[in-house]
Amino acid sequence: MEEKLFVDRPLVIDTEDLAATPREWLAERADVRSVGVDDPGFPVLLAQADALVIRTYTQIDAALLDAAPNLKVIGRAGVGLDNLDLPACAARDVTVCYTPEANAGTVTELVFGLLLDVLRPRPKLTQAIDADTWVRRRSELMGTRELGGLAVGVWGFGRVGRRVARVGRAFGMRVRYHDLLDIPADRREGAEPADRDALLAQSDVVTLHVDGRDSNRGLVGVAELAALRKDAILVNAARGFIVDPAALAAWLRTHPDAHAICDVHDPEPLPVKHPLLGVPNALLVPHLGAATRPAKDRMGWVVEDVWRVLEGEAPRWPAPAH
């Protein structure tokens, strides 16, 4: 393993393919190394590192922190913080910063794109077809429902949940939300509050946007699924661990008119025997919620807060206290 290239600059490890422009900006100020945690040279660099920039799959726990005695700051290029042991970071005076505003619109786009995939299937024409096939295909692909007029229940009314409510109303959906907090009327985006049971029982679409706190693990299980309408659409673009996949698979198999849309999973990637694989009314996608170049760039600018901390300043977006 080579020594530090710039002994007068702080060492920053980028563990998960930081966007090019933010990386270049940081590299003008620091010694930036792109090294995954499974790289044989990672432990040597970690022992010297002043900062880490991570994304979704780098797990920050007490053992890693103990191996990084010089670490001052971790920049999470993204929103979810459930891959970091925040109390362990705080106990070691390691500042954590993130990009909570980076991808709310990006996730919202995906939610409605996937909803339209379920409600309005639209395969591409790749060859000429005769008149009879044309008529038959149009009949076979006729949607039975439209977004307009459906009741959507938004479970979790943070940045993404509020954006989903706003777009849902633009489609003419009737929007309700459920959240742990009392949301001021001027921040409800025209949505009506509802308790959990009413949200589940009265929504055509239930879309999950809760955070990654431990109490949300297994939030949706057998009882919650049983409360849904028999033709409900359940969307999870939040965290994989909030839904019990075995319970969801069983519910879908006994409710053929229902659908589940899952962008996030537990674990990722999906193992061969994951219970939702092969379930015909489950639409599974590989964690694409923030998968656009603009969103990746916005998340990558966490490097500005990383540099602020290295310069002895407070970050603009510190992780919430735990």
- The pLDDT value recorded for residue 321 is 79
- Judge contact between 273 and 247, C-beta under 8 A: no
- The pLDDT value recorded for residue 103 is 95
Q: What is the dihedral of CA 178, 182, 188, 192, to 10 degrees?
A: 50
pTM: 0.91
Handedness of CA 58, 82, 64, 18 (dihedral sign): positive
pLDDT tens-digit profile, the chain (322 residues): 444 555 689 999 999 999 999 999 999 999 999 999 999 999 999 999 999 999 999 999 999 999 999 999 999 999 999 999 999 999 999 999 999 999 999 999 999 999 999 999 888 999 999 999 999 999 999 999 999 999 999 999 999 999 999 999 999 999 999 999 999 999 999 999 999 999 999 999 999 999 988 899 999 999 999 999 999 999 999 999 999 999 999 999 999 999 999 999 999 999 999 999 999 999 999 999 999 999 999 999 999 999 999 999 999 999 997 6
Rounded CA gap, 154 and 176, in Å?
Answer: 6
Measured CA distances, 239 to 227, 242, 317 (Å) = 21, 6, 21
Rounded CA gap, 28 and 35, in Å?
Answer: 18
Fold for the domain defined by 11-102+294-310:
Rossmann fold (3.40.50)
Domains 11-102+294-310 and 104-284 share a fold: yes
Every domain of the chain and the residues it spans: 11-102+294-310, 104-284
User: What's the first-to-final CA gap in the chain, in angstroms?
Assistant: 36
- Domain 104-284 = CATH 3.20.20.140: no
Model confidence pLDDT, tens digit, residues 223-237: 999 999 999 999 999
Reply yes or no: is the peptide bond before residue 267 cis, omega within 30 of 0. Answer: yes
- Judge contact between 165 and 218, C-beta under 8 A: no
- The pLDDT value recorded for residue 271 is 97
3-class SS string, the chain: CCCCCCCCCCEEEECCCCCHHHHHHHHCCCEEEECCCCCCCHHHHHHHCCEEEECCCCCECHHHHHCCCCCCEEEECCCCCCCECHHHHHHCCCEEECCCCCCHHHHHHHHHHHHHHHHCCCCCCCCCCCHHHHHHHHHHCCCCCCCCCCEEEEECCCHHHHHHHHHHHHCCCEEEEECCCCCCHHHCCCCEECCHHHHHHHCCEEEECCCCCHHHCCCECHHHHHCCCCCCEEEECCCHHHECHHHHHHHHHHCCCCEEEECCCCCCCCCCCCCCCCCCCEEECCCCCCCCHHHHHHHHCHHHHHHHHHCCCCCCCECCCC
Q: Which residues are catalytic?
A: 239, 268, 287
Rounded CA gap, 112 and 94, in Å?
Answer: 38
Mean pLDDT of the chain: 96
- The pLDDT value recorded for residue 277 is 98
